[in-house]
A = this chain, B = another copy of it.
Amino acid sequence: MHIEIDVKMNYRLGADRAALLTLEVAENTEGQRILSDNLEIADATVTRIAGEAGVGQRVWAALATEEMRLSYTAQIEVTRGAVALESFDAAPIHALPPEALTFLRPSRLVQSDMFGPFVARRFAGLEGGAKVAAISDWVRRSMAYGAFGSTQATTALDTFAARQGVCRDFVHVVCALVRAANIPARYVAAYGPDVDPPDFHAVAQVWLGGAWQLVDATGLCAPETLAVIAVGRDAGDTAFMETTDAAQFLSQSVQVSRRPAPARP
């Protein structure tokens, strides 16, 4: 699938005039290919560094002025296919590669250490991909999707009690429950054309069958439609913009669409 991304952002930065931006589609991740992309930030010096876990890249923008005017456009070919989670085995924990072991750990916003007994009983008898699929289904059925007031400080534990939230809250709960089942799970920032209204999206990746498999418990986006930006232990690792002093929102739009198939002669 080909998807088109068009992001426009205007923020007034503080005196530091600097921002760390995690919004470019990852260049080096399986299942997607960048056909073309272009990041323009007016009056800025741009430096790229690797993303968390070596996935994708982040941009440090140092501005000559306080107002940041940013445009990012990209044409992406998503080459990964549909994923049947149930078909995958989980690796025995002692066979996990170190980069997966990291994502078994609880993190600031994902207190997976608190859900062990619940997961052991509620999903008893299931293993591997079947267990992850059951967890994802349970989250989708149990939670209401919407902007009910969760914030950057809202944790998986908070959301598990309130049972509502936006995509980031869904991912945090999925990661909490999957890690509690001793299966690595990480947070993924992504673009998807089926997010409505269009916005930055988040899904989970779980380590099954020797690779990271995408899981969207909101039910909004199929893996074969997602362009991955970055990964992390939780949303705190992948914020689309971070600044060291307070930034003022001016305007922002995120457009993601399927590129129409070329007309056939």
A37 located at the interface, meaning its Cβ lies under 8 Å from any Cβ of chain B in the complex: no
Partner of A162, one of B60, B94, B101, B115: B115
CB distance B161 to A157 under 8 Å? yes
Given known contacts A47-B94, A106-B236, A114 and B52 CB-to-CB distance under 8 angstroms: no
For residue A102, give the distance in angstroms from its CB to the closest CB of chain B. 6
Tell me whether A14 is interfacial, beta carbon within 8 Å. Answer: no
Interface members, chain A 105-125 (any B CB < 8 Å):
105-108, 110-111, 113-118, 121-122
The A contact surface, by secondary structure, is mixed
The complex places the Cα of A114 from the Cα of B165 at a distance, in Å, of: 13
Whole-angstrom distance between the alpha carbons of A181 and B178 in the complex?
30
Tell me how many chains of this kind the complex includes.
Answer: 4
Q: Are A162 and B18 in contact (CB under 8 A)?
A: no
Q: Which residues of B contact A105 (CB under 8 A)?
A: 108, 233, 236-237
From A52, A94, A97, A121, residue with most partner B Cβ within 10 Å? A94
Instruction: Give Cα A116–Cα B144 distance, bound, in whole angstroms.
Output: 13
Given contacts A111-B108, A115-B161, A157-B161, contact A20 B94 (CB under 8 A): yes
Chain A interfacial positions (CB closer than 8 Å to B): 18, 20, 47, 49-52, 58, 60, 62, 93-94, 96-98, 101-102, 105-108, 110-111, 113-118, 121-122, 144, 148, 153, 157-158, 160-164, 182, 233, 236-237, 244
